[in-house]
Amino acid sequence: MMFVHVQPGIMENIQDRDTAVFDFVYFAFTRLLGLSSVSLLSVVSGYFIVASLLKTDPMALARSKFKTLIVPLAAWNLVMLALLVAYGLMTDKWQDMPDPTLLGRANALFAVTAWPLDVPLWFLRDLFICCLLAPLLYQGLKHFALPTLVLLVVYTLFGEDLYLLQRPQLLLFFSLGMWLRIAGTNAATIDRLSLFLAAGLAVMIAIFIAIRVQNILISEMNDQLRITLDTLLRITMAGGFWVITGLIRHSGFAATFMRLEPYSFVLFCSHAILFNFAGIVFRRFFGDYGSNLFPITFFTLPLLAILCAVIGLQMIRRSPPLLFLLNAGHSVPPWRKVEAIEEREKAGDHRRAGV
């Protein structure tokens, strides 16, 4: 998902360019993978919200989600605002500052009707709205599942101008996750469904590649056609990501991913901020999109973001106020302590293997 926020540095519509090898790579990582990655996260969030609904009242749930979603949304956007002010003072470039109006400031911090300063955090805003609607969705999906899902599809297709959600699709994916939990769907069934969706993903990828080869601008399509194609891509991509997650879980990479998992929230919230400013430096050395060296920027910035997330969270892990503001109140163990635990586990595995 991070790749979609690596700024190309050019005003030209990239999708309208002739396609070379890197153009396909860029399209795959940004349009196919990057913009579709939140679909599985939305489904998973809906799946787990059901358990929370059953053991707490709606007001307590709303307060909890406000602390873990809206507080970081505002805090990270304030970080971005502070950095934009500092950058403006140094360079006299103020074009990225929010509009000096009440709505402009509200959008900058809370994404009320437009993207926030830290663009990916629209997801936190939309997820909070989904959580507020969860009690109503639960009753609808439990007693009138099919009509409720039909209404959600209609909202997905025609609800962009209502400003309830920045991405109306999110409510559909969130509700699908809730429905899977309400229906008591077991893991084996979810795995089979994911394989079916992954097969459909191959078709959707072929369609989008054809669109890219023909230089058809997705933004200029009929709204309902564009949303339908995008929704089908995201749903099938969710299945594909689930299959990949299962493969990783049983691979040699599992330990590395598990070790980095506690840093994923800070990584999600901070990467676009890093890309915005570090990208300026990288593009001076390696050029904008179209340069032969731009792939260095494209693939290095996400790795740098992971490193910065780990270092940053380790630096604030003993500060409850900063953890509350920037990481939903969650701390992490010392990095060296995790290394020691992993070494002991490996030693234990070797001893058991030798018995």
Residue-wise pLDDT for 115-162, tens only, equals 999 999 999 999 999 999 999 999 999 999 999 999 999 999 998 888
Q: Judge if 185 and 267 occupy the same domain.
A: no
Please check whether residue 299 lies inside any domain of the structure: yes
Please check whether residue 87 lies inside any domain of the structure: yes
Q: Judge if 148 and 278 occupy the same domain.
A: no
Look up residue 179 and give its amino acid. Answer: W
CA distance 278 to 319: 26
What token pair was written down for 191? 């795995």
- The candidate with the shortest Cα–Cα distance to 43, out of 192, 162, 171, is 171
Look up residue 222 and give its amino acid. Answer: N
At CB < 8 A and 24+ separation, what contacts does 296-302 make? 297/6, 298/3, 298/6, 298/26, 298/29, 301/2, 301/6, 301/274, 301/275, 302/2, 302/3, 302/6, 302/271
Please check whether residue 91 lies inside any domain of the structure: yes
pTM flag (> 0.75): yes
What token pair was written down for 354? 């030798």
CA distance 141 to 50: 11
Greatest mean pLDDT among 16-25, 217-226, 242-251, 265-274: 265-274
Q: Judge if 261 and 227 occupy the same domain.
A: no
Q: Judge if 89 and 226 occupy the same domain.
A: yes
- Reported as a pLDDT band with limits 50, 70 and 90, residue 17 is confident
Q: Judge if 266 and 345 occupy the same domain.
A: yes
Are the beta carbons of 47 and 178 closer than 8 angstroms? yes
Are the beta carbons of 152 and 175 closer than 8 angstroms? yes
End of a domain among 212, 229, 252?
Answer: 252
CA distance 1 to 272: 10
Q: Which residues are within 8 A (CB) of 200 and not within 5 positions of it... i.e. 6 or more apart?
A: 232, 236, 239
Among the listed ranges 50-59, 174-183, 218-227, which one has the minimum average pLDDT value?
218-227
End of a domain among 234, 252, 270?
Answer: 252
The 10s digit of each residue's pLDDT in 67-92 is: 999 999 999 999 999 999 999 999 99
Please check whether residue 278 lies inside any domain of the structure: yes
Q: Judge if 208 and 313 occupy the same domain.
A: no
Instruction: Write out the residue range of the structural domain in which residue 300 sits.
Output: 257-354
Give the number of domains in the chain.
Answer: 2
Whether 175 has a pLDDT exceeding 80, the answer reads yes
CA 13 to centroid of chain Cα atoms: 23
Q: Judge if 179 and 291 occupy the same domain.
A: no
Q: How many helices (H) and strands (E) does the chain have?
A: 15, 0
Average pLDDT of span 219-227: 86
What token pair was written down for 10? 């050019």
Q: Judge if 265 and 131 occupy the same domain.
A: no
The 8-class DSSP code of residue 19 comes to P
Q: Judge if 303 and 221 occupy the same domain.
A: no
Are the beta carbons of 294 and 287 closer than 8 angstroms? yes
- Reported as a pLDDT band with limits 50, 70 and 90, residue 339 is low
Q: Judge if 146 and 114 occupy the same domain.
A: yes
Question: Coil, strand or helix: which one is 116?
Answer: coil
CA distance 37 to 264: 14
Look up residue 58 and give its amino acid. Answer: P
Among the listed ranges 38-52, 271-285, 330-344, which one has the minimum average pLDDT value?
330-344
Q: Judge if 217 and 266 occupy the same domain.
A: no
What token pair was written down for 214? 């023909």
What token pair was written down for 158? 């025609």
Using left for φ > 0, alpha for ψ between -120 and 50, and beta otherwise, residue 291 falls in beta
What pLDDT, on a 0 to 100 scale, did the predictor assign at position 20?
Answer: 81
CA distance 34 to 160: 20
- Reported as a pLDDT band with limits 50, 70 and 90, residue 355 is very low
Rounded to the nearest integer, the mean pLDDT of the chain is 90
Q: Judge if 241 and 275 occupy the same domain.
A: no
- CA geometry: angle 253, 180, 161, nearest 5 deg: 95
